[in-house]
Chain A
Amino acid sequence: MNQTQKMVRLAFFLALSVLLHYIEDAFIQLPAVAPGVKLGLANAVGLIALYFYTDKEFWSIGFLRVVLVALLRMGFGSGFLISLGGWLLSSLMVSLFHRYSKVSIFGLSVISAFFHGMGQLTVVAFLYQSIYMVNYLPILSYFGMVSGYLLAMVTSEALKRLRIH
């Protein structure tokens, strides 16, 4: 694969992740069992990037998505910091588990969702100087793990059918 092809594909993946984030934000309303509960559709694109490329591309797509969503919709306030915290912790843990364990896309997707929620809550706890956030961690985690697993099912089926190498 030449560099231009790779660049075009990565740009496409990035656009797709921003679009999925937007669709989820605008159209998918989940029961508000806890603040921040969401499906995390955009994380599927990160896993696809990790499948085709390496850690470097996985980190780049995730970071650029967080920045682009902030530029296009949220601004660079507390929402941006929370997204950044979620992305940072989940990407770190996904990279570590991908490198040092034998987990498949299913394990990685669950780990990604789990630590995304934990990273977000950590930032909120710092912003509000409140330990109470720890009460939401189990709820967010259970929900995140279920959605992470379902997302892995969809992503793995999509990857089996994609014809790009």
Chain B
Amino acid sequence: MKNLSLQRNSSDITWISVLIVLMTALLVLNRFIFDSSGIRVVNIYIYGELVETVSLDEATTITLYQNEYYKPGSSTEFALLDDVVIEINDQQQVRVESEESPRHICSLQGWIGTTGMPIICLPNNLMVVIEEENG
């Protein structure tokens, strides 16, 4: 096994540049793939199952009650750690307003208005994402 060099070299620059170019290409590509001109809705998934679809056109608040969603194959274990409140504003953006989780990553993420940019809440097995209607 060769030694690990502590000095920067041209190989570093080459590979880092390759990664930056690849990710920039992916960023541009994603814009085209997920760009939508149709009617957009907010889809809410628990354990990958679509549980609710809400229009993005009017400001509203949706509460997912803990006792309404269970882990797949269980009738006693809840999917959510507590009730989850999801909010849509009048600028066609959505956020997880409040939830119970150790680090609150999804509620800290704030407002999302981009199609296909999901808000993920792992401890609650929840995904909230703006999608094209019937898409």
A residues whose Cβ falls under 8 Å from a Cβ of B: 25, 32-36, 47, 50-51, 54-55, 78-79, 82, 97-99, 101-108, 110-111, 114, 124, 127-130, 132-138, 141-142, 145, 149, 156, 159-160
Contacts and interface: CB of A to CB of B under 8 A. Distances in A.
Kindly state the interface size class of chain B when it binds its partner. Answer: 35 or more
Contacts of B114: 135
Given A103-B12, A132-B117, A156 B6 contact: yes
14 contacts: A32-B109, A33-B109, A36-B105, A50-B4, A51-B4, A55-B1, A82-B122, A103-B12, A106-B16, A107-B9, A107-B12, A114-B19, A134-B26, A141-B19
B6 A159 contact: yes
Interface of A is mostly: helix
B29 to A, nearest CB: 9
- 4 tightest A-B CB contacts, nearest first: A107-B12, A32-B108, A104-B5, A102-B11
Contact of A105 (B4, B30, B120, B122): B4
A119 B99 CA distance: 26
A137 B23 CA distance: 8
A130 B128 CA distance: 11
Given A33-B109, A102-B5, A132-B34, 19 more contacts: A25-B103, A32-B105, A51-B4, A51-B6, A105-B4, A106-B12, A107-B16, A110-B15, A111-B15, A127-B48, A128-B45, A128-B48, A130-B45, A130-B118, A130-B127, A135-B114, A135-B117, A138-B23, A141-B23
Contacts of A156: 6
A159 B6 CA distance: 8
A11 to B, nearest CB: 21
